[in-house]
Amino acid sequence: MKIKDLLRPNILLLSLFGAGLSPKAPGTVGTLLSIPILLAIGTLIEPRSVHYSILILTLTIIAAFLADHVQRHTKVHDPSWIVLDEFLGLALCWPFIDPTSVREIILIFVLFRFFDIVKIWPASFFDTHIKHGIGTIVDDLISGVYATCSFLVVKNFFF
The pTM of this model reads 0.91
CB-CB contact of 103 with 157 (8 Å): no
What pLDDT score does 133 carry? Answer: 83
Helices (H), 46-132: 50-74, 84-93, 102-118, 123-129
What pLDDT score does 153 carry? Answer: 95
Integer Cα distance of 94 and 53 in angstroms: 11
What pLDDT score does 114 carry? Answer: 97
CB-CB contact of 77 with 71 (8 Å): yes
pLDDT digits (tens, 9 = 90+) for 109-131: 999 999 999 988 997 787 787 87
> One digit per residue, pLDDT tens: the chain, 159 residues?
666 776 788 888 999 888 888 889 999 999 999 999 999 999 999 999 999 999 999 999 999 999 998 888 878 777 788 999 999 999 999 999 999 999 999 999 999 999 999 988 997 787 787 878 888 899 999 999 999 999 999 998 887
